[in-house]
Amino acid sequence: MFGPLHFTTENAPLSNDVLEDGPEIDCIFCDKKFKLPSGIKNISDHVHESHKLFIDSIEKIANLEKYLSYWKGRFSMITKEDLLGNSDEGYHILSDQLEEDKLLREQLRAEKLELALEKQRQEREANSYARDCLFCHTHVRGNVADYVSHLWAKHNLQLGRPDNLVYVDELINTIQKKMDSLLCIYCEKVFKDRNVLKEHMRKKLHKRINPKNSEYDKFYIVNYLSSGHVEKTLDDLTAKASSDSESDNSDWSDWIEDSNCSITCLLCRENFTTFDDAVNHMKLEHKFDYTKNTKELSFYQQVKLVNYIRRQVHRRQCFCCDKSLETDLAMTEHLCEHQDLMPERSLWDQPEYFFPTYENDFFLCQIVDPQEDGEASSGVDDVYCESQNDSVDSSCSQDIR
């Protein structure tokens, strides 16, 4: 069985990212029908109570409709006892401990990631996007990055880097719907009129989305890189700014500096408060120049490289020559023997390394694409830290600290 490495926090569930119900789907054993996603709990309870089958982590399955359809077909040809074995009380668990189930979940997650990446590519390349600003009378033309940059530069609406967003028009529609309902998008309180709402959002620094609201998960690409929920820690990144600030153009760039998000070295267990400190440490102590080695790599290539190195270091296997070491100290000493610490591309440039090795790997939160960094909105820092859940060895399911 596979499970994630942990830096600090517990796993959190991922709510299904489809906001409206689709067509009805049958139970995998009978003809009883359920609506998805609103009926996820109902179908889980029904299968458990009526058919004595518990579907593990059902809320984390990337495409539940396809998942249930697959198993309905399989159970029409084979009994759950033949597939899952006999049990004393007749109850069974369907989880990724079963290789067939594990492969199915991974395939569905990969398909979901592909769709999100393709949508993100289309949004980046399309230059015909046009929409009125949420706050002023400006009609913004260009692409979605231009629109998000306008919201940040002119109104301090903090959505994160355009590079990290997907389904942006739907995100803006969601925000607009809430504001039209006089709802603060951060604290979600309702106000008597638009002027009071705007004043509240300005003074309280609530021009950002609610990190606890899973409705926004589908709009951030990092959520598609893991099998579980990406725990957004905007609360930990809140600036210590005065609540009675008079200017809409106040500088919020110090949010990240006050966070408790420690960044762990890729090659040892040292933790740092800033990304630059971690990179400098690796260069001085381990002779691994991350900036130089990744300057020609895209954002997604850097993600794969980091996840590959993380996994190899955890296993105490050299990420260059694959030699196994007995201790962390032996691993560190061995790495110093390599003249060039950059592993061969064929080792790390694999789809499996899209998926994070660690929970809360804040190193990943700091990665930027050097080829596109100049096109990102000025000064917009990442506001989402990752709580990663995906496949590594079951022995990895522990806090490394």
- Report pLDDT for 244: 38
Q: Which of 87, 122, 157 is the last residue of a domain?
A: 122
Shared domain for 82 and 107, answered yes or no, is yes
Read out DSSP for 213-231? -GGGGGGBGGGGSSSS---
Residue 144 lies in a domain: yes
CB 86 within 8 A of CB 46: no
Q: Which two tokens stand for residue 232?
A: 């957004």
Answer whether residue 352 is part of any domain: yes
Q: Judging by beta carbons within 10 Å of its beta carbon (0-12, 13-18, 19+), is residue 103 exposed, middle or buried?
A: exposed
The answer to whether 254 and 239 have CB atoms below 8 angstroms apart is yes
Place of tokens 């610490």: 341
Say which residue the tokens 């957004």 belong to: 232
The answer to whether residue 26 scores a pLDDT higher than 80 is: yes
Task: Assess whether 356 and 270 both reside in one domain.
Answer: yes
Q: Are residues 222 and 131 in the same domain?
A: yes
User: Which of 72, 95, 122 corresponds to the end of one domain?
Assistant: 122
Q: In terms of domains, do 104 and 131 share one?
A: no
* pLDDT for the residue 246: 40
Local confidence band at 226 (pLDDT 50, 70, 90 cut-offs): low
Q: For residue 305, tell me if it sits in a domain.
A: yes
267 and 358 together in one domain? yes
Q: How far apart are CA 138 and CA 291, in angstroms?
A: 39
Residues 130 and 207 in one domain: yes
Pair 185, 171 in one domain: yes
Candidates 17, 1, 5, 15; CA nearest to 389 is 5
**Residue 145 included in any domain:** yes
**Intra-chain end-to-end CA distance of the chain, in Å:** 22
What digits encode the pLDDT tens for the residues 72-127? 999 999 998 888 888 767 888 999 899 999 999 999 989 999 999 999 999 989 89
Strands 53-55 and 92-94 come out as parallel
- Give the pLDDT of residue 36: 81
Q: What is the pLDDT of residues 241-277, one digit of tens each?
A: 333 334 444 443 333 333 456 889 998 888 888 888 8
* Three-class SS state of 45: helix
CA-nearest of 196, 153, 147 to 175 is: 147
In a domain, 330, yes or no: yes
Residue 85 belongs to some domain of the structure: yes
| 147-195 tens-digit pLDDT | 999 998 888 888 888 888 999 999 999 999 999 999 999 888 899 888 8
| Structural domain boundaries, residue 71 | 24-122
Instruction: Report the number of distinct structural domains present in the chain.
Output: 3
CB 248 within 8 Å of CB 156: yes
User: pLDDT of 27-78, one tens digit each?
Assistant: 999 999 998 877 888 999 999 999 999 999 898 898 899 999 999 999 999 9
CB 111 within 8 A of CB 70: no
- Whether 87 and 161 map to the same domain: the answer is no
**Last residue of one domain, picked from the residues 94, 122, 150:** 122
pLDDT of amino acid 23: 73
Tell me the average pLDDT of the chain: 78
Q: pLDDT tens digits, residue range 350-382?
A: 888 888 888 678 888 888 766 554 443 333 333
Quick check: is 74 in a domain?
yes
Give residue 396's pLDDT.
41
Q: Is the pLDDT of residue 210 over 90?
A: no
Residues 34 and 115 in one domain: yes
In a domain, 346, yes or no: yes
